Amino acid sequence: MKLRICTLTLLFCQLFSIQAQQKTNIIYILVDDLGYGDLGCYGQQKILTPEIDKMASEGMKFTQHYAGSTVCGPSRASLLTGLHTGHSPVRGNPLWTFTGNPVDMPRSQVTVAKELKRAGYTTGIIGKWGMAEADLESMPLNQGFDYFYGYRKHKEAHHYYPDILWENNDPFHPKGNDGYNTEGQFSHDSFTSKALQFIQQNAETPFFLYLAYTIPHLELSVPEDSKVPYKNLGWLNGESGGDDGSSNVTYAGMISRMDRDIGRLLDRLNKLGIADNTLVIFTSDNGPEFDKGFFDSNGPLRGKKRDLYEGGVRIPFIAYWPKHIKSGSTSDHISAFWDFFPTACELAGVEPSIQTDGISYLPTLLGGKQPKHDYLYWEINVHEGPIQAVRKGQWKAVKFYDKPIELYNLNKDIGEKNNIAESNPKKARQLMKLIESARTDNPAFKLEPHPRISDR
């Protein structure tokens, strides 16, 4: 009798394990300030990114994917909540509020991590959080994550040899770190090590890893071994423009180091035998900041970080999922950060418990019929005053505070060089109505100029 009970228990455990493993693991790799043109598979000629290029050649490359915002904080909030910046609780960086106080992600906010945890996933974030600036109420463990290792605040994440990092709810000081002399533990390396551990420890259960790398955000810093491939290319002789070339060498080295470590992550999935059951997404939180033209980081696009022109919000996006995504495929599906929430829920087999602004792009990944957005919307308040933008099909409108609306046809003018609002007044009015109706009021993020725009 005891033997029979033990046998039935074993069979039940095996069945449970098989059922659990049928749920797709999700790794979402979000890098910081990487431009649309910073990768070889998107046209980069100088920076070596062989691992990500291989990921694209074996997966799917999106050509019209958009960040949640043109700066870090609101972009990440959009990713986590499934809401664009007209509805999201966080619409600007920490000090960009009318109160002067940071607005954190409310503890009560439903996040994609909470939804996946509800679906039986083990959830972790490694890297940059930035959603708990004021206090610890909005730390990752209160937002659906089982594990956190990394930067709590934005400013802390501007340094690669930081004085302070966090593990779960506990701060610690990395031993031997000296940011001024770039000595100690390079934070990116520790994030990669922790990510590999997380994957290893959770390989037999469904997991969600949000890997929020800080490369290539300023400050420019990388260990010397990652600079070596770029030191004999003439850049240090002034041919790079702007300075003696050392900054460009460092920038390229940072991206190549990140590329190398993404290759290590994919190798680990293969060695564990879970690559076919793991969707890996690679993207950036907004457009580039550092490049002055040498790398052509924004590719054919106008603008960069802090702009709502394409260069500020259109970003590289690669999805890798062996045996599910057609190898070497490219998609022009118009999608955005707020689509990840419903996509993850669909993968996990749960209905979103809140209404989002997103549409699952799982049909695109699997080669099926894809529902489309009626429009995409962004807003940001920067030095020029608030800016709003909307995209509807081939049309893109940008509205600066107290200035006439600008209109562009992206099918004919991807670089947004020709404002055609005057020659297309009906279309301009249509998009202006969308801009006016797409948002809800938020007293912390008013659509009027204010002087508190100082945080990167």
Ordered domains of the chain (ranges, CATH): 23-373 (3.40.720.10), 378-437 (3.30.1120.10)
High-pLDDT (> 90) share of the chain, %:
87
Q: Note the pLDDT tens digit of each residue in 363-376.
A: 999 999 999 999 99
Task: List Cβ<8 Å contacts ≥24 apart for 384-390.
Answer: 385/448, 385/449, 386/446, 386/447, 386/448, 386/449, 387/307, 387/308, 388/308, 388/435, 388/439, 388/447, 389/308, 389/309, 389/313, 389/435, 390/431, 390/434, 390/435, 390/438
Q: Look at the block and give the residue holding tokens 């609780």.
A: 89
Closest CA to 335 of 357, 311, 368, 351: 357
- For the ranges 8-12, 144-148, 198-202, 221-225, the lowest mean pLDDT is seen at 8-12
pLDDT per residue as tens digits for the range 99-125: 888 999 999 999 999 999 999 999 999
Provide the pLDDT confidence category of residue 453 given band limits of 50, 70 and 90: low
Q: Note the pLDDT of residue 435.
A: 98
Rounded (to 5) percent helix, strand, coil in the chain: 30, 20, 50
Looking at residue 94, its pLDDT comes to 86
- Confidence at residue 19, expressed as pLDDT on a 0 to 100 scale: 40
**Structure confidence at residue 432 (pLDDT):** 98
> Per-residue pLDDT for 129 more than 90?
yes
The mean pLDDT of 349-353, rounded to a whole number, is: 97
User: What mean pLDDT is predicted for residues 427-445?
Assistant: 97
21 class by beta-carbon count within 10 Å (0-12 exposed, 13-18 middle, 19+ buried): middle
Answer whether residue 332 shows pLDDT above 70: yes
Q: Using the structure block, give the residue that is written with the tokens 């799982």.
A: 362
Peptide bond into 425 cis (omega under 30): no
The DSSP line for 132-144 is: -SS-STTSGGGTT
Task: Identify the residue with better confidence: 382 or 176.
Answer: 176
Three-class secondary structure of residue 147 per DSSP: strand
Collect all residues with Cβ–Cβ distance below 8 Å to 125 and sequence separation of at least 6.
113, 140, 145, 147, 148, 149, 150, 209, 210, 211, 212
> What pLDDT is recorded for position 148?
98
Amino acid at 443: P
Beta strands 278-284 and 147-151 are unpaired
Residues 39 and 31: beta-carbon distance below 8 Å: no
Poorest-pLDDT segment among 223-237, 333-347, 350-364: 223-237
Contacts of 195 (CB under 8 A, 6+ apart): 126, 209, 211, 265
Q: How far apart are CA 70 and CA 41, in angstroms?
A: 22
Query: Which pLDDT score is estimated for 237?
Result: 63
Mean of pLDDT values over 336-345 = 98
Q: Are 117 and 123 in contact (CB under 8 A)?
A: yes
Q: Quick one: pLDDT band at residue 158, thresholds 50, 70, 90?
A: very high
Could you tell me where the beta strands, DSSP code E, fall in 82-121? Answer: none
What's phi and psi for 108, nearest 5 deg? Answer: -80, -10
Please give the pLDDT value at position 10.
40
Cis preceding-peptide flag for 379 (omega within 30 of 0): no
Residue 243's pLDDT is 62
Please determine, for residue 20, whether its predicted confidence score (pLDDT) is greater than 80. Answer: no
Tell me the percentage of the chain whose pLDDT exceeds 70: 92
Backbone angles phi, psi at 268, to 5 degrees: -65, -40
Residue with tokens 């308040």: 381
Give the whole-angstrom CA distance, residue 323 versus residue 48.
27
Weakest mean pLDDT among 20-34, 264-278, 348-362? 20-34
210-214, 264-268, 332-336, 385-389: least confident range: 385-389
State the DSSP H helix or E strand holding residue 148, giving kind and residue range, or none if neither: strand 147-151
pLDDT of 244: 67
Which stretch of DSSP H or E encloses residue 16?
helix 2-21
Kindly state the tokens that stand for 268. Answer: 């680990």
Dist. CA 350–CA 281, nearest whole Å: 20
- Residue 4's pLDDT is what? 43
For residue 440, give both structure tokens: 């809800």
Q: Torsion angle, CA of 7/8/11/12, rounded to 10 degrees?
A: -150
- Neighbour order of strands in the sheet with 406-409: 376-382, 385-392, 395-400, 406-409
Q: What are phi and psi of 388, to 5 degrees?
A: -125, 150
Environment class of residue 454 by beta-carbon count within 10 Å: exposed (0-12), middle (13-18) or buried (19+)?
Answer: exposed
Amino acid found at 221: S
Query: Given a cut of 80, is residue 70 above it in pLDDT?
Result: yes
In angstroms, the CA 52 to CA 139 distance is 30
Please report which confidence band the pLDDT of residue 12 belongs to, taking 50, 70 and 90 as the band edges.
very low
Average pLDDT over residues 42-70: 98
